Amino acid sequence: MKTNTSLHTNRKNLFYALMAAFMFMLAACNQDEAPDFSPEDTEDASLDAIEDAYYDDADDLVSEAFAGMEGSSNGKKATDERLTCATITYEGNGLSGTLRIDFGDGCTDPRGNVRRGAIVVTHAGAWNLAASLWSISFEGYTINDVEIEGTRVVTMVSYTAELSVFDVVLVGGRVTWPDGRTATREVNRRREHERNGNNLLDRLIIYGSAQGTFRNGRGYSIEILEPLVYTRTCAAQGVFIPVSGVKLVKHGLRELTIDYGDGTCDNIVTLTNKNGRTVRYEVKK
């Protein structure tokens, strides 16, 4: 009787030991198969949004400056508040020439952004006619102490007073942050500018792809799955990211889908990793 009791106790202890080992292994496997979001994922979402915003801002400034030139075909002048403290000069005959947007040693717009240096554009063909070609470059240009470099080649696809369509290729893009770290960027995209009755950019819609390295050293590729939409109304409220649209960011073996929402004016995105896990995240500069 004593022997049977001892045997029963040993079997019971062995059962508990095996169960404990099984649970430990199961937890370890689950952790490997479905990892939580890493700080790298959220950082990538922020870095991409900021770099996009600064380059897109330069494109917008150029189109607004062109639209505001005397002698534009629709006879309207743009009144973009970002250009109020810049010196804008043009040399050419309208069919070809050079446009210079110079912010000097420092120019602060109503949204608090500080720009320095100059954006220089040469164009072949009237700026607002289909097939005209722009080449946008930067001379010591910074925004909020972030230096922007590279050449953006812009081809006008179509133009009306209400809607302009451009193809944009960024070559040799380089962003240098105040701490000295750098990022690289190449872009191939289509941009649609929708204007309101005052000839101001009302909505910006973007399609296409990008690739490069973030300032944290990680290489990436980006595909826009659903068009990215920016609005003037939301930008005036401090929203610097798209208000809707979806993009896919890949770096190494990791994949991250960034959903910018349903049009609400905020800097909130929904991130989804390749395992299907999601998290809401506020993008900050």
How large is the average pLDDT for residues 109-137? 94
Residue 148 forms part of a structural domain: yes
Confidence at 21, pLDDT banded by 50, 70, 90: very low
Residue-wise pLDDT for 252-266, tens only, equals 888 999 999 999 999
Residue type, 273: N
pLDDT band for position 10 (cuts 50, 70, 90) = low
**What is the Cβ-side half-sphere exposure of residue 212, based on CA atoms within 13 angstroms?**
24
pLDDT range class, residue 9, cuts 50, 70, 90:
low
Q: pLDDT at residue 142 above 60? A: yes
Tokens of 14: 């062995």
Cα angle: 43, vertex 183, 112; to 5 degrees: 70
pLDDT at 47: 85
Q: What is the pLDDT of residue 182?
A: 95
Residue 136 placed within a domain: yes
In a domain, 28, yes or no: no
Distances (CA, A) of 53 to 148, 212, 230, 240: 11, 16, 10, 6
* pLDDT of amino acid 30: 38
Other residues' Cβ atoms within 10 Å of the Cβ of residue 259? 19
**63, part of any domain:** yes
- Three-state DSSP at 10 gives helix
Residue 10 domain-assigned?
A: no
Instruction: Please state, for a pLDDT cut of 90, what percent of the chain lies above it.
Output: 55
22 in a structural domain: no
What's the confidence (pLDDT) of residue 199?
59
Average pLDDT of span 30-52? 69
Q: What is the pLDDT of residue 38?
A: 72
How high is the pLDDT of residue 101?
97
Mean pLDDT of 82-96: 92
Mean of the pLDDT values across residues 257-284?
Answer: 92
193-243 per-position pLDDT tens digit = 898 765 566 899 999 999 999 988 889 999 999 999 999 889 888 899 999
Question: Above 70 in pLDDT, residue 73?
Answer: no
Domain boundaries, position 214: 38-282
pLDDT at 107 over 90: yes
Tell me the pLDDT of the chain averaged across its residues.
Answer: 84
* Number of structural domains found in the chain: 1
Q: What whole-number distance in Å separates Cα of residue 270 and Cα of residue 281?
A: 6
Looking at the domain assignment, is residue 194 inside a domain?
yes
Rounded to whole angstroms, the Cα distance separating 99 from 152 reads 14
Q: Which residue would you say has higher pLDDT here, 166 or 63?
A: 166
Which whole-number Å values give the CA distances from 51 to 23, 33, 112, 140, 157, in the listed order? Answer: 45, 32, 18, 17, 24
pLDDT higher than 70, residue 11: no
What is residue 197's predicted lDDT score, i.e. its pLDDT?
A: 63
What pLDDT, on a 0 to 100 scale, did the predictor assign at position 43? 78
Say if 16 falls within a structural domain: no
- Residue-wise DSSP of 112-126: S-EEEEEEEEEEES-
pLDDT for 198 equals 59
Per-residue model confidence as pLDDT tens digits over 147-161: 999 999 999 999 888
How confident is the model at residue 88, as a pLDDT?
94
